[in-house]
Structure 1
Amino acid sequence: MFRMMLAAIQRKLFQMITVLVMLPQLSCSAHKAEKLHCFSKTSPSLSRDGDLVIGSFLTLYSVEVGNIRGAGLFRSHPDKGCRDYKWMHRNYQQVLALVFAVEEINRDPDLLPNTSLGFHIYNAYHSDERTLESSLQCLSGQGQLIPNYNCLGQDQPVALIGGATSALSIQMGTLVELYKVPQISFGPFDSLLSDKAQFPSLYQLAHRDSFLSRGMVQLMLHFEWTWVGLATTDDMRGEEFFWNLRGDMVKNGICLAFTEKILVSERRHSESQDMFIIRILESSVKVIIIHGDTDSLMILRYSQPIHVYLGKVWITTSHWDITMRPQRNDGYAFHGALSFSHMSNEIPGFKSFLRTVNPVQYPEDILLKEFWCSAFKDQEKLENQGQNTCSPNASLEALPLHIFDMTMSGLSYTIYNAVHAVARALHEMLLVTSKRGSVRHGEIWALQPWQLHSFLRNIQFNNSAGEEVFLDDTRSSEAQYDIMNYLIFINDTELLVKVGQFIPSAPVGLDFTISKEAIVWGWFESKAPHAVCTNSCGPGFRKLPREGEPICCFDCSLCPEGEVSKQINEKHCTKCPEDEYPNKERDHCIPKDITYLDFKEPLGMTLTCVALFFSVLTALILWVFVKFRVTPIVKANNLTLSYTLLFSLTFCFLCSLLFIGRPTTATCLLRQTIFGVVFTVAVSSILAKTIMVVLAFKVTIPASRGKIWLQPRVSNFFVLLCSGVQAILCGSWLGISPPFPDTDTHSQPNQIIIECNEGSVLGFYSVLGYIGLLALGSFTVAFMARSLPDTFNEAKFITFSMLVFCSVWVSFLPTYQSTKGKAMVVVEIFSILASSAGLLGCIFMPKCYVILLRPEKNTQECIRNKSDCKGGKHASRLPQGQRLHKTKEMPLK
């Protein structure tokens, strides 16, 4: 940056030296005999005599060369003639602001008493050579350019007001600084001009624009614009704005689609103007930010034939007067543009002054006559009638906006303050000089411009609008902005409408306000444009950045399973709480349904009915066995074990009901333990029955000691022993890590399953394993005894029942492990019911069939000799004596 600044200063010094060498070395007396061509355009355009004179450089007209649309802007060639210039009509308000301020000061008896203030106004060209020429003209004398020579005498300006742009301020300051003449810049604030080492005699009145970029970013955020273009001047001020804007945009996720640099040198306009506009027009970007001053950005109006920017919104500042154009139809229509205009107070009496201004009131003001006729389109009438004024009864208030604005512009407001600042500094200086007695009564006050610096630095006052004014750059306040909407109607009427404001010093949330309803976007647009690189990712989606592209260009991906995004353009999806799950659109979480195997649901009701049916059926079978306990077939099946088995099967069916309904602490503790104990009783009873059958056929010797094992108390003790072991296992399980109610939020995405956590997995599978061990033992013993005689043999039925029992529980284990939630409970209930029904059906149904439907077979003879019940066609496989012996010795109970 320092190198760029140094190079700029060196370039300006080189230009100054070049111009000074080329200027004619004529004396002051020669000025009276010979005048330069087009003298009225180099000498003061307007002057008013006074004891003290202020010089002012204002851009009032531009001189064109050749075809203005194809050549450099604001350049002049003296040999072209005095008529080859175009009025910058809107800038004439700056002249009137200066005149108004001077007249106001001269009317004030307390300010500069006995001293009148005058002014010289020069035209400021956007040209290095012409600006230096005008500056030297002001310092040397009217009509003559003599370096380091002054023939103005008392008319020498005590201060200069100029520099509508930073470039003009630097061009003027390069020469004016040699004479230490105070220069007050009324253009936009530029931090480069605050460097007192380079510009010790230059002062700035404008407010700082440090927060301008922040205001523009808030405007983009308000309308959700994330893809915008930027066109700014190729100078230090434009570079500073670019970096400030880019930093604020990055913080808020907004991207620059392109950046165009506008060359401010008039020699280089033609090199880039053609492609510059074409690139903007061909771009798909809907919102374009323009930053720069009016002189630099006139390229937008001159460089191409007339176009209409359809679908584009321009955001600019008041430093570029978007309404200004030297001719009515000379470029582009910026209808719907938004402009950040410096907020300023209304100067009392200024509008009334403008309403009274006309050439009749100021007959000596030739400049006003030329402006008047040019503004009111009556130039030919002026030429034909000589000194007669044109449209004498017209009013500036009748002029359209692109020619004249009755509202004081920011530049005019600054000029007004600058004149008052110089007047008050002169007043302070006069007071000090009078106290010292340096000026005697009746003498002329000989003021040197450099003497004014110490007073200007410390000047501070409140203007007529009540705003505090000071020239110290370090105390310059931050600008406040009105957001204006520029409108062009069908009848060519133009209007600037306030639609919002930005006050950086206001609290967050109140600093930026705008009315969407008041904004007109264009001739064919009814709402704000959609300025994005990629359409926003709606709720339920997340942003995935594209590799190698700006962050504003991205892809949208649906949120993963179990996650949601509630806002647009979310970078990450968030997981739902455990008790909630995403809806179908995945844009919000909804509460999960609480579920468990309920008695009221169809499956629960079905299982309940099945369990009750089989428990009632088992009870009926028990009743049948009790009622027919004296019959041979009941006596032959060991009544105690049969009753025990039927009781246990009844409880097996009923214990399945503990698995249905909302799990509680009590049901979780009881259901597995009761299931384990009653099933152990049932299976151990079957094992005891099987062993008794085997022993009955193995112990065949009369009065043998082995018959003691055939006693009922032995089988009952065996059942108690097996059940006791299971009871110990269940007690250990409950004591170490018992089951408890728990919730499963992961098995089903939209459900919370209330279940019983088994606590100790080892305890649970120990109980099941012990039952399986007894069942396997029963199946093995029964399978070995399947070939015993049919008369007293239950082994076949037990074998088949154990085969069903083991098949069910072997299938249960993998199925139970592979299911979740209610399905696990259903699988266990089904296994309990199926295995219990298998035992009941295989062991007791054949006996009930004989007892109830074939009572003729329920006799001692049929029990002893089954072949006799069949008509004696087949003899028993055992000898008659052995059969009789066993019948006599075998107990029937």
Structure 2
Amino acid sequence: KHYYQVLALMFAIEEINRNLNLLPNITLGFHIYNAYPNDERTLESSLMWLSGQGQTTPNYSCEKRKSVVVIGGATSDLTVSMGSLLELYKFPQITYGLFDPLLSDPLQFPSVYQMAPTDTYLICGMVRLMLHFKWNWVGLVTSDDSRSEKFLRDLQEEMTRNDVCVAFTEKIISGQKGDIDVYNYFIINILMSTAKVIVIYGNTNSLLSWMFTKIPHVIVTRVWITSSHWDIAKKPSYIYFNNFHGALIFSDQTSKIPGFKHFLKTIHPTKYPEDTFLKNFWETAFGCTYKHGEGDEGVCSPNASLDTLRLSYLDINMSDQSYTVYTAVYAVAWALHKMFLVRSEMESDIDGDKRVFHPWKVRISGLGKCLGRYKDRINILHMWLLLLGIRLKVMWKTMEYSHHGVLFLPSNEVGTPPQSRCSKCGPGFQKKSQEGKPVCCFDCVPCPEGHISSKTDADRCVKCPEDQYSNKKRNQCLPKVVIFLAYEEPLGMALASIAACLSLFTALVLWVFVRHKNTPIVKANNRDLSYILLISLIFCFLCSLLFIGRPNAMNCLLRQTTFGVMFTVAVSSVLAKTIIVVLAFRATRPGSRGRKWMGSRAPISVVLFCTLIQVLLCAIWLLLSPPFPETDTHSDCEHILLVCNEGSFIAFYFVLSYMGVLALGSFTVAFLARNLPDTFNEAKFITFSMLVFCSVWVSFLPTYQSTKGKMMAAVEIFCILSSSTGLLGCIFIPKCYVILLVLAIVLIRNFEKISEKTFGA
């Protein structure tokens, strides 16, 4: 992988040397030095480069062709180690590793230029990816260095701003790979955590040390998020990389370099005999033996080329770091080209036909202006582990920056991503924060009645519209059913049928009384009052039909007022009958003044007077606050009730109270006169009728208040029918029984007389 960056450098230099418009008449060259992961060997390599290939003598160089720029520093440690020495000689250094804020300090490292952009795009991209998949419980693993520390701090701030919580944080110190206890602690923390997604970032060498330990491996089934600089495609023989199957790798958007694939085909040790690295790489990659010294092919095939290697050794496309090296070479070339174009900014000493350049002039000439381009697109690669240890990085998505600086991620993923959440509330629940815990950890509380949440992790439930209600799961609003006491339903049909039958039966009783109006039992207690009472009862039965059917303005106005007036007529007629009973017995006393009231229209006047008061109460009610149809959406959570609003409940209860006073008066008088001796005394019947009447309406009030909708109308209809039936049954049924019984006896006797005359004794 590192040599692949060398190939990119070689390709860029050859391409520049063939370009007639860039550095004409000048040929670029290069030296390749190996870098070691310790300060001593790095300083030694730097001195070798400064002094030449011979003895490393400070401040002395045997090289006639001196280099002007150093391209290196895949890691910050390497850049700092080289920069400490190169800065003494004002050599510009271009680093192609991850961006490190420490290296951007112009006072401490004035000659260091970073090709990589800042990690801002990487942090935003990672958090945007978490939000895209709704991952809010994420673990963080970094190396223990200043760059990783800043990355970790910035990432945590961005995650906090977007309500993404950190499940755990692990820092790996370089050189701990032999510590078994630390390794076990590291693995156990990952396995015990509920986070299914882990971000890994930092120094590749220190982090990889955990993967190459001698401890038996543990398969950690997690989704890893990292950057392309964290190279996990090394040494395919190690099974530990099964842990990184499916890893998501953030990569800078790189342009395709035309001709690079063809260049790979032409690479061969015979073409670059001085490149000892290439020979070693060739033997390792192709598994052959190459004879050094004379350049013959030996055992290795002369037709072998790099494009035939397995994917585990060489990527077909140019990697991010290789592309960065490629652009760094071009940045140096353009800086040198500018020196030739601007003579005032160029110094040169002529040594034969060769020009010698001063490195600090290259640095001053504006090399930094060519570097550090900010990317506007990010590729996300998907790591696949295939058979035989082959790893394949597949292009998965491209994130783009909008004009407002917001990362946009297209939705074209395939399959169901894993969930990584501390807590999860399904539809029908709302979140309730847990005291002392992160915002991502919460309790789930069911939505209250009439509210729903149709998505997961809803902050609060949404109230359903007035014409809808929540289902049992509280995840959907359903339309409410409009209900009222209709004729079509069984209850309405039964009540209407009963009311019609009772009114017909009352009409039949009236016919019997009219038909036998001259009988003593009909004449007793004023037969006119009996007619009025029977007619009012017919209308009482029929007025219950106003409570059945869809409420509208007309029947809402008529139902309670008609009911009140008709019942007032009936109750006042009963009251008048009771008064007549009392007057009748008083009139039998010598010198009684009650005789003059017996034959007058006084009882009719009582009915008219009592009814007039009720009519006035109803008129005031209709004028001030009349009843009206209303849609009740609150009383029943699953239904819309079509009801009649009484307008003024005070007026409604005044009407009922007035009828109650009349009924109570009738009951009291009848009860006191129940023991008066007479063959046709109605006081006992009136007492029982008013007892039934009062019992029904006393039980009506609490029942009426506790019901809603059509059941409220049904309760009132039942009270109307039962109280009217009580009056009809207790007062008139005994009289009808006597009339019909006498009629039957008379018919039988007449039949016997006719039979005797016809057939003899």
TM-score between both structures, scaled by the size of structure 2: 0.91
Q: Give the equivalent residue in structure 2 for 1:332.
A: 241
Secondary structure in 2 aligned to 1:445? strand
The alpha carbon displacement at 1:257 in A equals 1.9
Secondary structure in 1 aligned to 2:199? strand
In structure 2, what is the Cα distance between the partners aligned to 1:758 and 1:507?
Answer: 60
1:156 equivalenced with 2:45 (yes/no): no
Residues 721-775 of structure 1 show CA distances to partners (whole Å, capped at 9, x for unaligned) of 1111111111111111111111222332211111111111110111111111011
Q: Give the equivalent residue in structure 1 for 2:732.
A: 844
The alpha carbon displacement at 1:107 in A equals 2.9
| Aligned mate of 1:649, from 537, 549, 556 | 537
1:725 equivalenced with 2:613 (yes/no): yes
| Aligned mate of 1:301, from 197, 211, 216 | 211
The answer (yes or no) to whether the contact 1:369–1:389 under 8 Å persists in 2 is no
> Is 501-510 or 589-598 further displaced after alignment?
501-510
| Aligned mate of 1:571, from 429, 436, 459 | 459
The alpha carbon displacement at 1:277 in A equals 4.4
The alpha carbon displacement at 1:531 in A equals 3.0
Distance 1:281 1:332, change over 3 A: farther
The alpha carbon displacement at 1:510 in A equals 8.6
Q: Give the equivalent residue in structure 2 for 1:142.
A: 53
The alpha carbon displacement at 1:781 in A equals 0.9
Q: Give the equivalent residue in structure 1 for 2:742.
A: 854
Secondary structure in 1 aligned to 2:241? coil
In structure 2, what is the Cα distance between the partners aligned to 1:104 and 1:855?
Answer: 134
The answer (yes or no) to whether the contact 1:230–1:288 under 8 Å persists in 2 is yes
The alpha carbon displacement at 1:376 in A equals 2.5
The answer (yes or no) to whether the contact 2:628–2:647 under 8 Å persists in 1 is yes
In structure 2, what is the Cα distance between the partners aligned to 1:444 and 1:338?
Answer: 50
In structure 2, what is the Cα distance between the partners aligned to 1:700 and 1:197?
Answer: 133
In structure 2, what is the Cα distance between the partners aligned to 1:437 and 1:639?
Answer: 140
Residues 231-273 of structure 1 show CA distances to partners (whole Å, capped at 9, x for unaligned) of 1222232223223333343344433222111225x58985955
Distance 1:418 1:270, change over 3 A: farther
The alpha carbon displacement at 1:419 in A equals 1.7
Residues 304-324 of structure 1 show CA distances to partners (whole Å, capped at 9, x for unaligned) of 446363532322211012212
Residues 563-620 of structure 1 show CA distances to partners (whole Å, capped at 9, x for unaligned) of 2211122232222222211223221111111111111211111111211122112112
Number of corresponding residues: 743
Q: Give the equivalent residue in structure 1 for 2:713.
A: 825
1:117 equivalenced with 2:28 (yes/no): yes
In structure 2, what is the Cα distance between the partners aligned to 1:720 and 1:671?
Answer: 21
In structure 1, what is the Cα distance between the partners aligned to 2:385 and 2:403?
Answer: 32
The answer (yes or no) to whether the contact 1:209–1:479 under 8 Å persists in 2 is no
1:260 equivalenced with 2:170 (yes/no): yes
Secondary structure in 2 aligned to 1:842? helix
Residues 368-407 of structure 1 show CA distances to partners (whole Å, capped at 9, x for unaligned) of 222222332335x648999865514221122233333342
Look up the equivalent residue of 2:99 and give its one-letter code: F
Secondary structure in 1 aligned to 2:398? strand
Look up the equivalent residue of 1:533 and give its one-letter code: C
1:801 equivalenced with 2:689 (yes/no): yes
Distance 1:856 1:552, change over 3 A: closer
In structure 2, what is the Cα distance between the partners aligned to 1:626 and 1:308?
Answer: 106
Q: Give the equivalent residue in structure 2 for 1:451.
A: 361
Q: Give the equivalent residue in structure 2 for 1:98.
A: 9
Q: Give the equivalent residue in structure 2 for 1:3.
A: none
1:348 equivalenced with 2:258 (yes/no): yes
Distance 1:346 1:293, change over 3 A: farther
Look up the equivalent residue of 1:633 and give its one-letter code: I
1:399 equivalenced with 2:309 (yes/no): yes
The answer (yes or no) to whether the contact 1:302–1:331 under 8 Å persists in 2 is yes
Q: Give the equivalent residue in structure 1 for 2:755.
A: none
The answer (yes or no) to whether the contact 1:358–1:392 under 8 Å persists in 2 is no
Secondary structure in 2 aligned to 1:184? strand
> Is 600-609 or 288-297 further displaced after alignment?
288-297
Secondary structure in 1 aligned to 2:601? helix
Look up the equivalent residue of 1:804 and give its one-letter code: V
The alpha carbon displacement at 1:439 in A equals 5.8
Q: Give the equivalent residue in structure 2 for 1:364.
A: 274
The answer (yes or no) to whether the contact 1:211–1:504 under 8 Å persists in 2 is no
Q: Give the equivalent residue in structure 2 for 1:487.
A: 384
In structure 2, what is the Cα distance between the partners aligned to 1:554 and 1:458?
Answer: 50
Distance 1:406 1:831, change over 3 A: closer
1:457-472 mapped onto 2 (5 Å cutoff): 457=367, 459=369, 470-471=370-371
Secondary structure in 1 aligned to 2:503? helix
| Aligned mate of 1:130, from 41, 63, 66 | 41
Distance 1:405 1:795, change over 3 A: closer
Q: Give the equivalent residue in structure 2 for 1:205.
A: 115
The answer (yes or no) to whether the contact 1:684–1:723 under 8 Å persists in 2 is yes
In structure 2, what is the Cα distance between the partners aligned to 1:665 and 1:702?
Answer: 58
In structure 2, what is the Cα distance between the partners aligned to 1:582 and 1:702?
Answer: 78
| Aligned mate of 1:687, from 566, 572, 575 | 575
Q: Give the equivalent residue in structure 2 for 1:533.
A: 422
The alpha carbon displacement at 1:667 in A equals 0.9
The answer (yes or no) to whether the contact 1:599–1:661 under 8 Å persists in 2 is yes
Gaps of 5+ in 2: 747-761
1:789 equivalenced with 2:698 (yes/no): no
> Is 570-579 or 268-277 further displaced after alignment?
268-277
In structure 1, what is the Cα distance between the partners aligned to 2:600 and 2:285?
Answer: 132
Gaps of 5+ in 1: 1-89, 460-469, 520-526, 859-893
Look up the equivalent residue of 1:482 and give its one-letter code: N
The answer (yes or no) to whether the contact 2:226–2:250 under 8 Å persists in 1 is yes
> Is 304-313 or 331-340 further displaced after alignment?
304-313
Distance 1:176 1:822, change over 3 A: same
Percentage of matched positions with identical amino acids: 54
Secondary structure in 2 aligned to 1:302? coil
Residues 26-71 of structure 1 show CA distances to partners (whole Å, capped at 9, x for unaligned) of xxxxxxxxxxxxxxxxxxxxxxxxxxxxxxxxxxxxxxxxxxxxxx
Q: Give the equivalent residue in structure 2 for 1:863.
A: none
Look up the equivalent residue of 2:18 and give its one-letter code: R
> Is 416-425 or 428-437 further displaced after alignment?
428-437
In structure 1, what is the Cα distance between the partners aligned to 2:10 and 2:434?
Answer: 60
The answer (yes or no) to whether the contact 1:649–1:840 under 8 Å persists in 2 is yes
The alpha carbon displacement at 1:548 in A equals 3.6
1:207-246 mapped onto 2 (5 Å cutoff): 207-246=117-156
Look up the equivalent residue of 1:498 and give its one-letter code: M
